[in-house]
Structure 1
């Protein structure tokens, strides 16, 4: 199957979009005959759409793609848009176009406004709504990484369920850790006098750092020694960064071998990934955690419910009760940590191997495309 893979961010940059274009393209090249087409979006393209209108901002981008396709001698079976959808609204070529993404504007902006209502979004960001609607209508097939976004397209944009599929993204890591390394990591965690929690995310406010800190503080208050490691963020809250049980790593550049090694070392010693997000369309870092046998403690919202199976590869709690309920859960797990944590570790690894990796994701996509042809 021959694919034209449209990249909205640089697929050779491991740090672009948390590494998703890099690792998605890497695995797609293993399973398809692919050609890259770079449609790198200009910075803050959404502002141009918002101010100048959809056609003025996006038609030239679609036209360039169509001109390229018409110049090609060999045809493609599919055009797959990896991530951004700037080429989609005015696409007018006969080759079916597939959009594979983790969000749309109507779900993405939900995470940045209190009391977000879809009708307000349509009114206040009408051109972004039109961008969503035109893309969803134009694409031959829509593939989203979570049930949350898929359901939003059906209920809010009136997109037929028949043209939507859900395929979770995979962990953005080169290779899964070896079994020997993982067993050694498990023993290290079980022997540790402290519970090691890790929070990862540059956008720390939306991803719930304050709740993560509240949970670890509560556990220490209960006499359960706990440590919180913050990766990828530099929060400006003195009470958090100066707490004796908190260490802040800052942004990790995975393109630098020493920093990538540090990231791996942190994950090997982590008991739980904390992700009590207020909004999250998907959450790649949850997949990365499961690859190391790390269960997730998060909030029962949006994309997290596609990744985390409650009691299998983690636990999800209601946002308003997160600290109290998660604290109670972890306290109970500590009553028999060897058996309880070992089971979570094994089930988290199983979820990683079976569905939360790029090989499984691209294989699933390939099966969908073969049936769709």
Structure 2
């Protein structure tokens, strides 16, 4: 049997295979509250070894896109309980991705139309999604304001509160979103972090916020139920770091002793080339830095994987492989990978917002008489 389909343990998470459903924002949670339709969507994909939920805002301030779910109200916890119950009844495992977008937001999405917050008042030249007249509209992000140092501990507490709410809602664990140009990544990378205090400048200062968040979440729910997602060289959401290797090896060394269930690494440009010629990066060196400092959880890889690449990665040090876009159109992706296809083609027009069409109506092999 291919290693891809063998069981694996990541911290407290006992997984039936090494195929992970990556987080996928779908903008189908009005008022930030998961719906029964979302429960069906995730239930359909429960054969994954692990599901990582779509990005889920830790607070109203953390929201950056219309109709994305949150984990800060009773209604949201109740909605997520329907989702986790459906996944568990189908034999699956699911963790909540904890998300604060930082500057990648718009005043129309912020409480009282306030400015988004960021390490520094540097605008992200990217777009976000609003819902207008029932349809998704892409708009430029708003100019952020720089966080006062006194505000930062409150955001760290928001991560811990959301982690506790996730466990209350039935999730098997949490993944801290530290990638793709959102708040934690903004603190890490010098293009977005121009601070001169203890959270800016040298690498240890820029990594301080990430490590404070990780420690707070571990204290809240346990290291064995905590993972983190990182993207060393992605340019997503107008983020950049001219010297990613020393930065992320430092992060890996300091995450090592904390006992995380896994580190989830996006290789190359998110949704784009797996190798950036202008930002070369040695992922093996980063993994070695983590392992050599006590990191004994799973090393999860992501970005543009098919079965052949996944099997190659597992033979060269990876433990888990995350699949993103393929899961949009193939709820039974595990079985399709096992058989070598066929694979449904996703309808891009239904990615963001809408209802069941392009969400829960993709056929499985069983629907097509393939069993």
TM-score (norm. length: structure 1): 0.29
TM-score norm. by structure 2 comes to 0.30
Rg larger in structure: 1
Would you tell me which structure has more helix in proportion to its own residues? 1
Task: Pick 1 or 2: higher relative contact order, CA cutoff 8 A, min separation 6.
Answer: 2
